[in-house]
Every structure is written in structure tokens, then in C-alpha cells.
């Protein structure tokens, strides 16, 4: 397992008592979504074929418009390589909007990897992901599952790839952060102000 200090520091949404209804059938392959943000448009392809549980979970939030009014609230830079890192967004555990956690889809199972522009679910433990997600800036193989990585070896669940708007991702990544906000390893990583997600729709 990578010694990347950001391996298990992502926010996790708490357990919700709101049940998620069954997903409608989605055509195999890729489903394109557009996130309209306060910095511009991010377009991504969700890999429903390889990561069906995770991609359909994200689409469930999109189709119910629950990401409308959400925010990108964190920009995390790798200390030794500040040009690499992630931006994180979501609902910040709003109990009126989050659905139940989903089973973890390991990158060993999906064959996906955390590359520049990859979308993945944020969680503190496998099987706890709900609405929080992140976008990689730079390749991040340390977020992939690693069977030789000891107890914390399941990584995060990659499920999509930015196809347009990496300039917008970079603009969020380099936006101002608060010097005082954020607890623990997230201290100094909270965007000030957060960047709104104005809408999230299938494209």
C-alpha cells in the first residue's frame, strides 16, 4: 500500500436512515453527466459497465437533483507534490439528502484506477460511501486497492473520468482555502468560500 498520507483522510457521510429506491436500468457502458459549478462546467463519463453500484449511486443523486446546491468544499494538495491532490465535494452528511451507504467496489474488481481526472467516492471505510466524492488532480495510484497493503488495502471506489473541464477542476483546486478551518489532516484544506455545484444532470 502506498504511504501517501492522504490515503484515508477523506470525509465520509454518516449513516442515513433514508432508504434508496431501486435504480432504473441503465444501458451498459458510459453515462455522461455535467456538473455546473461556480467556476464553470465539468463533464464526466461514469463507468456503469465496470463500476455499476458506484456509478448508479452517483446517478441516483444526479437524477433526484440532490447535488443541486451542493458544494466543492475541499482542495487537498500532496505536501511533497503540491501540483497533485484532489478536490472533494458533496452534501457534507446532510441527513435530509443522503441515501444509505453502498457496497464498496474495489479497483481490483472494476479494473479502474485513480488517474488524473478520475471521479471516486470518499469514505473513511469501505462500505461507508454515500454522497461525498472527489476528483483526482494527477495520477493517484495510492488510492487504488492493494492486496499487499495490510489492513487498509481496499482503496477507494473509482467510477468515472472527467472528459471536459479539467481547467475548471484546476481552478477549484487552486482556489483560496481557510488557514483555520478543517480538523486534523484537513486543517487548511477547506475552500473559502466553497465552490457551489449549481446543478448536476445527465448530459
26 φ/ψ sector (left φ>0, alpha ψ -120 to 50, else beta): beta
Percent of the chain with pLDDT over 90: 79
Whether 61 has a pLDDT exceeding 60, the answer reads: yes
Q: What is the mean pLDDT of the segment spanning 25-36?
A: 81
Q: What is the pLDDT of residue 1?
A: 37
Nearest alpha carbon to residue 198 among 33, 71, 91: 71
Contacts of 151 (CB under 8 A, 6+ apart): none
Q: What is the mean pLDDT of the segment spanning 166-186?
A: 94
Q: Pinpoint the alpha helices (H) of 39-193.
A: 52-63, 107-110, 166-173
Over residues 18-30, the pLDDT tens digits come to: 333 333 444 459 9
18 φ/ψ sector (left φ>0, alpha ψ -120 to 50, else beta): beta
Over residues 84-142, the pLDDT tens digits come to: 999 999 999 899 999 999 999 999 999 999 999 999 999 989 999 999 999 999 999 99
Number of residues that this document lists for the chain: 203
Nearest alpha carbon to residue 170 among 90, 86, 105: 86
Distance CA 129, CA 51 (A): 14
Q: What would the DSSP string read from start to end of 134-158?
A: EEEES--GGGS--TTSTTS-S--EE
Q: What pTM was estimated for this model as a whole?
A: 0.87
Instruction: Please give the CATH number for the structural domain made up of 30-202.
Output: 2.40.100.10
Least confident of 23-32, 44-53, 56-65: 23-32
Q: How many CB atoms lie within 10 A of CB 35?
A: 26
DSSP at 10? S
Least confident of 8-12, 63-67, 191-195: 8-12
DSSP at 171? H
Q: What is the pLDDT of residue 6?
A: 47
Nearest alpha carbon to residue 85 among 58, 117, 125, 111: 117
Distance CA 31, CA 43 (A): 11
Q: What is the mean pLDDT of the chain?
A: 88
Amino acid at each position: 500500500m502506498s504511504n501517501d498520507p492522504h490515503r484515508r483522510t477523506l470525509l465520509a457521510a454518516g449513516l442515513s436512515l433514508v432508504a434508496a429506491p431501486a435504480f432504473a436500468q441503465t444501458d451498459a457502458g458510459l453515462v455522461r453527466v455535467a456538473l455546473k459549478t461556480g467556476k464553470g462546467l465539468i463533464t464526466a463519463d461514469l463507468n456503469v459497465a465496470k463500476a455499476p453500484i458506484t456509478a448508479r449511486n452517483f446517478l441516483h443523486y444526479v437524477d433526484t437533483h440532490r447535488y443541486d446546491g451542493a458544494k466543492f468544499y475541499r482542495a487537498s494538495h500532496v505536501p511533497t507534490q503540491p501540483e497533485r491532490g484532489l478536490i472533494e465535494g458533496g452534501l457534507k452528511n446532510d441527513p435530509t439528502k443522503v441515501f444509505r451507504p453502498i457496497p464498496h467496489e474495489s479497483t481490483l474488481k472494476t479494473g479502474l484506477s485513480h488517474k488524473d481526472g478520475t471521479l471516486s467516492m470518499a469514505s473513511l471505510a469501505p462500505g461507508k460511501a454515500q454522497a461525498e466524492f472527489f476528483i483526482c488532480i494527477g495520477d493517484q495510484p495510492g488510492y487504488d486497492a492493494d492486496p499487499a497493503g495490510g489492513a487498509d488495502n481496499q482503496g477507494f471506489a473509482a467510477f468515472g473520468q472527467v472528459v471536459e473541464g479539467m481547467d475548471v477542476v484546476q481552478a477549484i483546486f487552486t482556489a483560496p482555502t481557510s488557514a483555520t478551518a478543517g480538523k486534523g489532516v484537513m486543517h487548511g484544506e477547506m475552500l473559502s468560500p466553497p465552490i457551489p455545484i449549481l446543478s448536476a444532470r445527465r448530459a
